[in-house]
Amino acid sequence: MLNNKINYTTKSEHQILSFLRENSHSEYIYRVDIKQSELANHFDISRQALSVKLRPLMEKGYIRTGRGFIELTIKGLNVLGHYGKSAFILVQVEPSLREEIYRIVVDYKIGKVNRVAGDIDLILEVDGDLTASVLDKISRIAGVTSTKTYFTLEIIS
């Protein structure tokens, strides 16, 4: 669940977290495939200076690092004011327009798009922060008859 505790970061910690968020791609985690030497060059500091700045971020649980990548955690996203959890948008469409609508939705590159059987046609898994803009785009597609949105409160497994 969201932690209401206020998290404090230094200006440079916030800049690093912001850079990582802006340059990551959302799957189940936010990951930037970047060497720490490249990140140091981006901030025009030495690799050693970056290491000093990353250490507290790791200790606070805001990031995880590995060979050639840095991952933002949910905790790190929360510091930046991002929700960081998925939203699921269930979409029902006019049957005669399904294929056309599927192509349009996939072309938006908004997250995972699952075609399903049943009383709905698509389940979109999107970044919770992007839900409003995704709903705006989806609602403008001719042939979309309804949507329902569910927000992840807590990942339990």
Q: What angle do CA 19, 21, 24 make, to 5 degrees?
A: 105
CA 21/CA 32 separation, integer angstroms:
8
What percent of the chain has pLDDT above 70? 90
Reply yes or no on whether the pLDDT at 2 is more than 50: no
Confidence of residue 6 (pLDDT cuts 50, 70, 90): low
Instruction: Give CATH for domain 86-151.
Output: 3.30.70.920
What architecture does CATH give domain 11-79? Orthogonal Bundle (1.10)
Give the percent of the chain with pLDDT over 90.
63
Which DSSP letter does residue 28 get? S
Residue 110: pLDDT band by 50, 70, 90 thresholds? confident
* Burial class of residue 11 (count of CB atoms within 10 Å of its CB; 0-12, 13-18, 19+): exposed
Task: Give the number of other Cβ atoms within 10 Å of residue 136's Cβ.
Answer: 9
- 25: pLDDT strictly greater than 80: no
| Cross-strand partners of 147 | 91
User: For 57-92, how does the pLDDT look when each residue is reduced to its tens digit (9 = 90+)?
Assistant: 999 999 999 999 999 887 888 788 777 688 999 999
- Sequence spans of domains, the chain: 11-79, 86-151
Q: Is the pLDDT of residue 130 over 90?
A: no
